Structure 1
Amino acid sequence: MKRLLIAAGGGGDPITAALVHAALHGPDTPALVMTYAWERLVVDPVPGPRRVTDFTGTERVAPHLALVTPRTVPVAPAGSLLPRLSGELGPRLGLLDPYDGVVGLARQITAAARWCGTDRIELVDVGGDIVARGDEPTLRSPLGDALAVAACAATSIPTTVYVAGPGLDNEVPLPDLLPRLGAPAFALDAERTGPVSGVFDWHPSEAGALLVAAARGIRGVCGTQDAPRPVLLDESARSVHRLSLERVLELSPLARKLAGCSDLDEAEDVSRAVCGFSEIERERLRAAHAATTPASPAPGAPRDADTVLARYTAWERAMLADGLAYVTTRRIVEGLDLTAPEARTLLATLRASTPARRVPPLWRLATEPATPA
């Protein structure tokens, strides 16, 4: 028998699912994490989630069930970090394809439960947007979570929902979120982050990185690229809350309205009606804008290491003045609009000049400027 976990959204949720699984059952217990291939445009320039047919080399272990392996490859121009992630996480990764809506997802989850030999589902979300009402002004990406909730309900398989790191996704304000979640069931600690220790050296998930940082005892105000508001890493940031699926359905109008949905376009329409927007449409607009915006720096005008370091030093002073103590790797790279070679050189310089700056998986802002190694 394998444990079956559903990563509620994209990006960092499969990483969080692996953490929650290790905490609940031990890292060596066999498990399958079903997850969307729905990643940031910096990873996958094609808006929206990927279908199973957007990959080659998936492992078809049963009808309606495809596993991602390190040999799986996204079909260009799509991109995905799931193949690499599948080689570093303990659980196997299965692909959730939402293009047939809740009906199709329920079929896939049922097939996964049968393959795992289990009669229970654990649905995992990092941050808490899974219990969004839909009218929160800071809400950005509720659709994947709500589809997963509705699909689990459609299977009639007993499902427990776990919300880790409340507020770390910066989508539902903590004063609104915490009463919906109730008391924590348990808290993650540094020992339990071992299964994902190396992932954030290359994976851009900020909510997942913040959860691991909180579990490792990092405390303070952290700046992320994905949201304008900073995140406070305190004791509550490492907590995991347990809810019944019925309670989550009570809290999520979007999940309730998606019941019976059989098409992703229909799901988008439901999201527009409930939340006032579709995140896939927002991704389409961002992708179209990026396609017409010249790359920076312009070709033929590379920035040398000293120039990049000087820009970082000025940027760091501004972040400190804003009250930040830590930043994510993504905040540095995208905030400074660095190319991959520039980012590698800068981060290596920061490590070498002041090793205490690196507090994996975050960076500590320093009052003394870094100097070239």
Structure 2
Amino acid sequence: MLLHVLVPAYRSRSPAKAPTVHEADLDDALTRNELARAILATESLEEAEQYSREICGYLEIDYERNKASWLGSQPEQKLDPEGTLLQLDQFEADARSRGITHTTFRRITEALGLDGKQRQDLRALLLSSRPEQYEAPLRRIPAGPAAAPPKSAADPHLRYKPGRPW
């Protein structure tokens, strides 16, 4: 029996790279992966989650739940277009300095400390102000030197902080 794993293109730093399908023998994959073997016999998501915590020491779903809780607990604020674009410039400079060429609206929303409800407002702002960067479904980080952010981007009230863990 064969196992097919799809690796989405957005995980790549190359915009020209298409999604890739990897093929592996299922028995070989199970031999190499302790977690995969453990969850074969599970009957619920809770059991699989527990095995992941025990074997890997963490669970990606816990991370996503914590992040959603944190984002949901933030006070709702109206999107400030000027401040948002300044934060975006800083985010893009940081991403560019790490060799990143594309990102998602979701990632920008999280990096700027906005909640999910503000994602549509952010999307509309970016599509209207910088439409040339939209390469559906991604946003292109413009090429160029990683310039220092504008002076006003150093404002301590701006929410984007380089190096956030997500």
TM range (shorter): 0.5 to 0.7
- Conserved? CA contact 2:15–2:102, under 8 Å: no
Matched to 1:255, the amino acid is A
| Alignment-derived partner of residue 309 in structure 1 | 85
| Alignment-derived partner of residue 276 in structure 1 | 57
SS at match of 2:51: helix
Q: C-alpha deviations, 1:102-140, integer Å up to 9, x for none?
A: xxxxxxxxxxxxxxxxxxxxxxxxxxxxxxxxxxxxxxx
Tell me, in whole angstroms, the C-alpha distance in 2 between the residues paired with 1:289 and 1:345: 20
Matched to 2:2, the amino acid is T
| Alignment-derived partner of residue 318 in structure 1 | 94
Q: What is the 5 A alignment of 1:289-300? A: 290=70, 294-295=73-74, 298-299=75-76
SS at match of 1:366: coil
Q: CA deviation at 1:362?
A: 1.0
Tell me, in whole angstroms, the C-alpha distance in 1 between the residues paired with 2:61 and 2:123: 32
Q: CA deviation at 1:265?
A: 4.4
- Conserved? CA contact 2:102–2:139, under 8 Å: yes
Q: Call closer, same or farther: CA 1:234–1:279 in 2, change over 3 Å.
A: closer
Give the TM-score normalised by the residue count of structure 2. Answer: 0.62
RMSD after superposition: 3.7
| Alignment-derived partner of residue 10 in structure 2 | 210
Matched to 1:352, the amino acid is S
| Alignment-derived partner of residue 3 in structure 2 | 161
| Alignment-derived partner of residue 35 in structure 2 | 254
Q: C-alpha deviations, 1:228-285, integer Å up to 9, x for none?
A: xxx423777632122232222222222223343345544444334432334455566x
Matched, 1:362 2:142: no
| Alignment-derived partner of residue 241 in structure 1 | 22
Q: C-alpha deviations, 1:136-183, integer Å up to 9, x for none?
A: xxxxxxxxxxxxxxxxxxxxxxx5321122xxxxxxxxxxxxxxxxxx
Higher relative contact order (CA 8 A, sep 6+): 2
Q: What is the 5 A alignment of 1:84-103? A: none
Tell me, in whole angstroms, the C-alpha distance in 1 between the residues paired with 2:116 and 2:51: 39
Q: C-alpha deviations, 1:180-209, integer Å up to 9, x for none?
A: xxxxxxxxxxxxxxxxxxxxxxxxxxxx46
Tell me, in whole angstroms, the C-alpha distance in 1 between the residues paired with 2:68 and 2:124: 33
The structure richer in helix per residue is 2
Give the gaps of 5 or more residues in structure 2.
150-166
| Alignment-derived partner of residue 214 in structure 1 | none
Matched to 1:347, the amino acid is R
Q: CA deviation at 1:303?
A: 3.7
Matched, 1:350 2:126: yes
Tell me, in whole angstroms, the C-alpha distance in 2 between the residues paired with 1:326 and 1:334: 15
Tell me, in whole angstroms, the C-alpha distance in 1 between the residues paired with 2:70 and 2:117: 21
Q: CA deviation at 1:329?
A: 1.6
- Conserved? CA contact 1:305–1:342, under 8 Å: no
- Conserved? CA contact 2:13–2:101, under 8 Å: no
Q: Call closer, same or farther: CA 1:360–1:236 in 2, change over 3 Å.
A: closer
Q: Call closer, same or farther: CA 1:288–1:366 in 2, change over 3 Å.
A: closer
Q: What is the 5 A alignment of 1:59-138? A: none
The structure richer in strand per residue is 1
